[in-house]
């Protein structure tokens, strides 16, 4: 990944984790489940971006 892609991925991941923690505080258990799905989706997006980058490099 380029440095720009890595910074964008880190920012996205940080935002998702922040959203997860906020949901825990604000909404309790239901928020935790929702936030878990959001963070999981963020991880899937990040892994997919890395795989796409590896394929582009080959």
For residue 1, pLDDT beyond 60: no
Cβ atoms of 24 and 32 within 8 Å: the answer is yes
Per-residue pLDDT of 2-56, as tens digits, reads 666 667 677 777 777 777 777 777 766 666 677 777 778 877 888 888 777 676 6
Q: Look at 57 and 41; give whichever has higher pLDDT.
A: 41
- pTM (two decimals): 0.41
Q: Can you give the pLDDT at residue 33?
A: 73
Cα separation of 20 and 37, whole Å? 9
> Residues 52, 39, 12, 51: what is their CA dihedral angle, to the nearest 10 degrees?
-10
pLDDT of residue 39: 77
Closest CA relative to residue 43, chosen from 14, 2, 23, 21: 14
């Amino acid at each position: 990944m380029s440095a720009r892609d890595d910074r964008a991925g880190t920012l996205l991941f940080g935002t998702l984790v922040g959203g997860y923690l906020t949901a825990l505080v604000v909404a309790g258990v239901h928020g935790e489940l929702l936030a878990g799905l959001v963070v999981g989706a963020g991880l899937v997006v990040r892994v997919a971006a890395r795989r796409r980058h590896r394929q582009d490099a080959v």
